[in-house]
Homo-oligomer: A and B are copies of this chain.
Amino acid sequence: MTDTTTPLITLHPDAQAQLFTDARTANTFTDEPVTDEHLRAIYDLAKYPPTAANTQPLRVLYIRPGDARDRLLTHMADGNRTKTAAAPVVAVLAADTDFHDHIPRIFPIRPELRDGLAADPAARDTMARFNATLQIAYWLLAVRAAGLAAGPMGGFDAAGIDREFFTDSSWRSLLVVNIGKPGPDAWFPRLPRLDYDDIVRHA
C-alpha cells in the first residue's frame, strides 16, 4: 500500500513541471531581450550545485546580435545557424583549463591542489571538461528556473569558435545554447525516453 501522505518526490509539482517534465528545448524565440540582470540571476542559482573540489571551471561568453554574433554563426552547423541568428542572446559555454588559479580562494581547505594541477595539464583538461559539463546542466535548469527557454546545440566547430573568441585564453568551448522567450512553434514533439530498466542495474 502506498503512503499517499508522503510523496516520493517532495519538490512541488509546479517546479517539477517547470524544470523537468513540461520544460522543452526551444527552437524559436521572440525578440524580447534578455537583460544582464536576468543573466546574473541565472548564475546566482547555477553556481551552487557541486563540482569536484569546488573547482567551478564553467565559463560563459554571452553574445547578443551584432558583429560577434555574425562571426559565431560562421562556426555553427547548417541546421543550427537560423536558430542562433534569431535568438536574443546566445551563450557559449566553456571550460577554463586554468581553473586551478582560483583554488586558494575557492578551496582553501586544500590550497596545494593548485600546484599539483599546475604541473599536470592533461589532468586539468579532463577535470575542467567534466566539471564544466556538470555545471552546464545546472545552468540549463537555472535558465528554466528563470522563466526562459534554452536551446542547446552540439552542432558547431569547437576549434573554430575557440580560435574566434578564445585566442590567448584558457577557455575551451563545450556547448552553444540559445536562450530567450519561446517563439511560435518553439517545440518539436517530445521524443521517447529510455525506460528505467534500460538504464539501471542493481548489484
Contacts and interface: CB of A to CB of B under 8 A. Distances in A.
B60 A48 contact: no
Interface residues of A, number: 77
A40 B196 contact: yes
Contact of A41 (B8, B63, B145, B194): B8
A38 B185 CA distance: 35
Contacts of A96: 199
A22 to B, nearest CB: 9
A74 interface: no
A5 interface: no
Given A8-B37, A130-B174, A48 B62 contact: no
Contacts of A102: 194, 198
B141 A138 contact: yes
Contact of A200 (B12, B62, B134): B62
19 contacts: A8-B38, A9-B146, A11-B15, A11-B19, A11-B144, A12-B12, A15-B18, A20-B46, A40-B196, A43-B196, A47-B194, A50-B152, A60-B201, A61-B202, A63-B202, A64-B202, A107-B191, A133-B134, A134-B134
